[in-house]
Amino acid sequence: PAQMAAQGEKVVRTLVEAGHQAYWVGGCVRDELMGREVHDMDITTSAMPQQVTELFPGSIPTGIQHGTITVVIEGIPFEVTTFRTEGEYEDHRRPTEVHFVTDVAEDLRRRDFTMNAIAIGLDGQPVDPFNGREDIQQRLIRCVGEAQERFDEDGLRMVRCVRFASVFQFRIALNTWKGLLHQRDKLGFIAAERIRTELEKMMKGPAPLRGLELLRRSRLISYARIQTSWERIAAADVSSLPLLGIDHRWMLLLFAMGLEPDEADQLLREWTFSNRQRERWVAVLRWEKELQRLVLNAEPGFDPGHAANRKAWIGMVLRFGQQTAEDWLTVRELKPEPLSHEQKQSSGRSEAGETENGFNWREWTLLGWRWNREIRLFGLKELAVGGSDLLAELQLKGGPWLGQLMQHLLLETASGDLQNSREELIEEARRVISRNEA
């Protein structure tokens, strides 16, 4: 951060010494005024893009047609944008053309919210024509100009509005909120990916429930062009969300929505979440479905700690991986409810966390954590005997049965029912083979 401040100052100073105007602007000024950590610096200048490029050799013309050049100094990137105004907007999402101007106040006018429309120069004097500092003081999100117009120009601003209100725990000025309600259908013009990025910032922040509540009240997300299962989001009980880390927050939301794994997979694809996120989160839903199959069919009054359950659990850990097991435990611990949407309706539960057949999820999560700690090994590589080794020892030819046999040996050793020694494993293999031949 100190490095960034020093290098940022160099960029501004270079521009000013070449006879141009230059200011810090946007998020970095806002965050600085709020006493928050600054994560990147945007600079706005009267210099034309061509002049910026000449002053900073090796800069990258990231958005040169909109006047944006990325200047990299000592490995730190700075976005330098020429003062500009925006022409007409197309499709409620982007200006058809931009005009370069010479007055910083003109540039500030195109920005979304008053707190984001403050510029600061080398002298430290803020240029703040829309009283952004006062709104920050009052903890208010307010559009620059007419809210209704600004949201009509660019529908993404509405999600940004909710995101900022959530992350900063600010209120939304009445006119801004009214404008949002009036224009919310314009969100249908915005690409899922851009909306998702804002939602991620919102969910990551200190008060995700505030953002969800604003989305609930505005019904904003139901206007996104893609399928959202909006009613389910609105109905979801996610009160324990703030207690969880970011990935687990999303998992909890998916659980609370009562989605089938395939539905969740589809939804996350449409919202363009990364493969890593989608696969990890959906795996937890699949885990639960599998567990449900193993456990909810059990007889009333059966003992959850039964050895067969322990082994079934360990078998699942071997198949799904330990992360999925831990993800499930982490989320379910905070949401110890009947397993799925359907069950919630069909099986009236007697008390929190208890299903009709007397199964208690709190008990189950306690057992799960314990069983996880008891697992001796996690993969075939850790077995004292390998597949080809075993074939040679038994003087047999390979086949599909070998994989099954190895999985069996893995489960037996992982659960501690078999010693992980060459002799024991070979003996067990012989037993299984002769049992199968019989």
Return residues touching ligand ATP (CB under 6 A): 26-27, 42, 111-112, 116-117, 154, 156-157, 201
What, of Mg ion, ligand ATP, none, does residue 111 touch, CB below 5 to 8 Å by kind? Answer: ligand ATP
Residue nearest to ligand ATP as judged by C-beta position: 27
Determine the residue type at 326: E
7: three-class secondary structure by DSSP: helix
Residue 94 CB, shortest distance to ligand ATP, in Å, is 9
312 binds, among Mg ion, ligand ATP, none (CB under 5 to 8 A by kind): none
Smallest separation (angstroms) from ligand ATP to the CB of 223: 17
Question: If contact means CB under 5 to 8 A according to the sort of partner, which of ligand ATP, Mg ion, none does residue 332 touch?
Answer: none
Nearer to ligand ATP, 36 or 293 (CB): 36
Residue 74 · residue 62 · CB < 8 Å: no
Which one of Mg ion, ligand ATP, none is in contact with 154 (Cβ closer than 5 to 8 A by kind)? ligand ATP
Angle, helix 261-270 to helix 275-295, in steps of 10 degrees: 170
d(C-alpha 295, C-alpha 316), whole Å? 12
Q: How far is the CB of 109 from ligand ATP (least distance, A)?
A: 10
Q: Shortest gap between Cβ of 214 and ligand ATP (angstroms)? A: 17
Closest approach, Cβ 27 to Mg ion, in A, equals 4
From Mg ion, ligand ATP, none, which one binds at residue 265 (CB under 5 to 8 Å depending on kind)? Answer: none
Cβ closer to Mg ion: 31 or 363?
31
Q: How far is CA 178 from CA 134, 140, 172, 182, 193, in A?
A: 21, 14, 10, 6, 25
Between 114 and 330, whose beta carbon lies closer to ligand ATP? 114
- Which pair of tokens denotes residue 173? 């000025």
Q: How far is the CB of 132 from ligand ATP (least distance, A)?
A: 10
- CB-based contact 367:325 (threshold 8 Å): no
Separation between Cα atoms, residue 295 and residue 290, nearest integer Å = 9
- Beta carbons of 52 and 63 less than 8 angstroms apart: no
Q: Residues in the site for Mg ion, rule: CB under 5 A?
A: 27
CA distances from 47 to 35, 98, 102, 362 (A): 30, 15, 9, 63
> Which partner from the list ligand ATP, Mg ion, none does 162 bind, CB cut-off 5 to 8 Å by kind?
none
Structure tokens that stand for 214 in this block:
């604003």
Find, among 337, 345, 340, 286, the residue nearest to 316 by Cα: 286
Q: Indicate which of Mg ion, ligand ATP, none lies near residue 112 (CB less than 5 to 8 Å, by partner kind).
A: ligand ATP
Looking at beta carbons only, is 24 or 328 nearer to ligand ATP? Answer: 24
Number of neighbours of residue 395 by Cβ within 10 angstroms:
6
Give the nearest distance from C-beta 309 to ligand ATP in angstroms.
Answer: 46
Cβ proximity to ligand ATP: between 145 and 416 the closer is 145
Which residues touch 424 (CB under 8 Å, ≥6 apart)? 418
CB nearer ligand ATP, residue 104 or residue 257: 104
Return d(Cα 54, Cα 47) in angstroms, integer.
Answer: 10
Q: Which is nearer to Mg ion, 31 or 356 (CB)?
A: 31
Task: Tell me how far, at minimum, the Cβ of 125 lies from ligand ATP, in Å.
Answer: 19
**Nearest-angstrom CA–CA distance, 284 and 290:** 10
Select 117 or 256, whichever has its Cβ closest to ligand ATP.
117
| Bridge partners (DSSP) listed for residue 381 | none
